[in-house]
Structure 1
Amino acid sequence: MDSIHLILLRIFRPILDVTCAVACTAYENMGCNCTKEKLVLNSRRFYVQKRLGEGGFSVVDLVEEGPTGKLFACKRIMCHSKSDEKVALEELEYYRRFAHPNLIMLEESGMIPRGDICEVLLVLPFYRRGMLQEALDKLKENGQHYSQTQLLRLFKGICDGVRELHNAKPTAIAHRDIKPHNVMLADDDSPVLMDFGSMAPARLEVVGRSEAIALQDTAGEKCSMLFRAPELFHVESHCVINEKIDIWSLGCTLFNMAYLYSPFEPIYMKGDSIHLAVIGRNFKFPETSEYAPVVNDLISSMLVVEPMERPTIEWVLDQVNNMTAEMENRV
């Protein structure tokens, strides 16, 4: 480099440095997404802000849409095979199938090829209030509980979403993994059932040991143990699995919402067999409760080992509505 170039560089380098610094600061103040990963789905641009969570089969990122600045949660499912892709697309179809205030709704979707694999993207609403489980954890930390009115209102919303699934046409759908972790809280505090990755046709006839083992393995992967119905722990070689598995999970969920732990959590914490506890219906209500006895009666009616003896979602909702009406009449 000759002397004149060196002189020019000494003169203009400080100016360039300041100009770059000012430009970068301006971009940051404007919320610039230049350095963030960009996802383009059907001409809509989403910029990844941060990782919200990771599961066994997917991750969830917080994304911001440009130029609106609206925040969403993007579920990203990496598919390493055609079978993985088929499962992801089946989940996508479940999101597309339902539009109900108590079921999470799909905002946008797409598929991005990445070499020999692909990524299925599901853009979903972002709930600032977070999961129902987080609200329960906060209550526990503060030594509080939901009032019976709050408890029944939240539970009714969850049941309304489940009824939409169980009454789906032409085929009833079971969620198969209902639990407080899979319920989001909207800004108006209404519950929204999420995570459709465990969904399947509600009624399934199992014929033969190989089918039974396959369903049992799937349940082990996708259905949380503390909320899993007895018939999914050991699937019989010849049986029919139906939507009553969700009723069991609803019983565990209502218990968890009322008493801030799963009915079988004490067994789990001791390291004893959850399977034996579930089929033996080995759980206990707290000795003292601020709720009316009918709340425990409702939980007990759902936590019945024999599926045929469990109530339907319609019956459960009738009981919740009757309990709510009785409380209102007292006031």
Structure 2
Amino acid sequence: MSFFNGMDFNLLYYLSLGCLGKNSSFKINDKTYRTLKLLATGGFGQVYLVEHDSKKYALKHMETNSTYLVNRIKKEIELHQSFDHKNILKLLDYQIDITLTGDGGNFLMLMPYIKHGTLQDEYDILNKGEIKTYISIDRIKKFFHDILEGVNYLHHRNPIVIHRDLKPANLLINEKDTILIMDFGSATENIETIIDSKHSRKMIDEANELCSMPYRACELFNCEVGTELNEKIDIYSLGCILFSLFHLRGPYDLEYQKGGSYALGSNSGVVRFDANLNIPEDIKNLIKKMMNVNYIDRPSTEEILKLFLDIKF
């Protein structure tokens, strides 16, 4: 970790880029990575395609003047660099630069470049086709098994890791057609029980900031007093993802597009399947179990793995 004080973060950012247009670069632990293009940008920062020794990587750059965000990003990096699993995107290297006062910083995270994109990218391509096509049953089996294995690894860590933002846009597909879970900016090791209305409001606000609505567990919309926010949050999201693998959309996307609410859909406990897709009843029942409004009754990742592998389809 390196420290600096008294410099403007924007100035530091442009210095790190080198202000050289196509030849701009980032430096991580004495290695220089030439930027090739911007891959994505958003509230989280920017992701660039970079190159070092003729190898391409994805580099995530984040910058903040908030003590809260400094601590959150540090935790994201600490968690991510500790993971070692075939279905989790590797964090290859990182650089943390924080002010002496700790209220601001620049963060760089270096990861493999997966040119095939995310599961959501695949949905978007398939949905745009003149003749709508769907993901094959064999690929659905493989994809969901990959996702389950990765989440099972997280849930069996000590302490447990709850991703809290599992969705197709956070699932990369590599050149071997293997799913890699990414983006641990919303992850937590804390299991919390809502103790009062103030705590409830805090956790609802946190969910609004960190957890995407279409795949968000119903308890995160309400955070009622007495509710335990635990790994069953991820189980609900897994149910939504399995639904999406067949439909190329989330369970309540159609209702939302018609002016409905994700919160109402999620809390209704009703899951409507497209009858034209001929989804096996055992798969429908498994999805309903994972999306149970009562989080206590949702199965664990181990139970889901067994149920899923036993289904003949």
**1:4 corresponds to:** none
Report the Cα offset of residue 290 of structure 1. Answer: 3.8
Report the residue type matching 1:152 in the other structure: K
**SS state of the match for residue 23, structure 2?**
coil
**SS state of the match for residue 63, structure 2?**
strand
Match for residue 231 of structure 1 among 204, 219, 227: 219
How many Å separate the matches in 2 of 1:34 and 1:284?
A: 50
Residue correspondences, number? 290
How many Å separate the matches in 1 of 2:190 and 2:287?
A: 22
How many Å separate the matches in 2 of 1:311 and 1:51?
A: 40
Query: Unaligned regions of 5+ residues in structure 1, if any?
Result: 1-32
How many Å separate the matches in 2 of 1:240 and 1:311?
A: 15
Task: Evaluate the alpha carbon distance shift between residue 292 and residue 109 of structure 1 in structure 2; reply closer, same or farther with a 3 A threshold.
Answer: same
Match for residue 151 of structure 2 among 162, 171, 188: 162
**1:135 corresponds to:** 122
Report the residue type matching 1:137 in the other structure: D
User: Structure 2 matches for 1:266-285, cutoff 5 A?
Assistant: 266-285=254-273
How many Å separate the matches in 2 of 1:210 and 1:293?
A: 42
1:6-56 C-alpha deviation (Å, 9 max, x unpaired): xxxxxxxxxxxxxxxxxxxxxxxxxxx885222111111111221111122
Say yes or no: does 1:89 pair with 2:89. Answer: no
Report the Cα offset of residue 216 of structure 1. Answer: 0.9
Q: Is the 8 A contact 2:22 2:36 kept in 1?
A: no
1:39-79 C-alpha deviation (Å, 9 max, x unpaired): 111111111221111122222111111xx121111111112
Match for residue 192 of structure 1 among 157, 175, 180: 180
How many Å separate the matches in 2 of 1:81 and 1:149?
A: 46
User: Structure 2 matches for 1:162-311, cutoff 5 A?
Assistant: 162-169=151-158, 171-201=159-189, 203-311=191-299
How many Å separate the matches in 1 of 2:122 and 2:21?
A: 35
Q: Is the 8 A contact 2:29 2:95 kept in 1?
A: yes
Match for residue 28 of structure 2 among 41, 45, 51: 41
**1:99 corresponds to:** 84
1:174-216 C-alpha deviation (Å, 9 max, x unpaired): 1001110000001100000101001002522222222221111
Q: Is the 8 A contact 2:243 2:287 kept in 1?
A: yes
Task: Evaluate the alpha carbon distance shift between residue 133 and residue 34 of structure 1 in structure 2; reply closer, same or farther with a 3 A threshold.
Answer: closer
Report the residue type matching 2:134 in the other structure: H
How many Å separate the matches in 2 of 1:204 and 1:163?
A: 20
Report the residue type matching 2:65 in the other structure: H
How many Å separate the matches in 1 of 2:239 and 2:160?
A: 20
Sequence identity percentage: 30
State the structure with more CA Rg.
1
How many Å separate the matches in 1 of 2:21 and 2:244?
A: 44
**2:94 corresponds to:** 109
Report the Cα offset of residue 113 of structure 1. Answer: 5.8
How many Å separate the matches in 2 of 1:63 and 1:114?
A: 26
Match for residue 149 of structure 1 among 138, 145, 151: 138
**SS state of the match for residue 207, structure 1?**
coil
1:108-132 C-alpha deviation (Å, 9 max, x unpaired): 1002468984211111111011111
**1:320 corresponds to:** 308
**SS state of the match for residue 269, structure 2?**
coil
How many Å separate the matches in 1 of 2:300 and 2:248?
A: 25
**1:119 corresponds to:** 106
1:135-167 C-alpha deviation (Å, 9 max, x unpaired): 122223331112222111100000100001100
Q: TM-score, structure 1 length as denominator?
A: 0.83
**Larger deviation: 108-117 or 261-270?**
108-117
Report the residue type matching 2:111 in the other structure: L
Say yes or no: does 1:80 pair with 2:69. Answer: no
How many Å separate the matches in 1 of 2:125 and 2:81?
A: 33
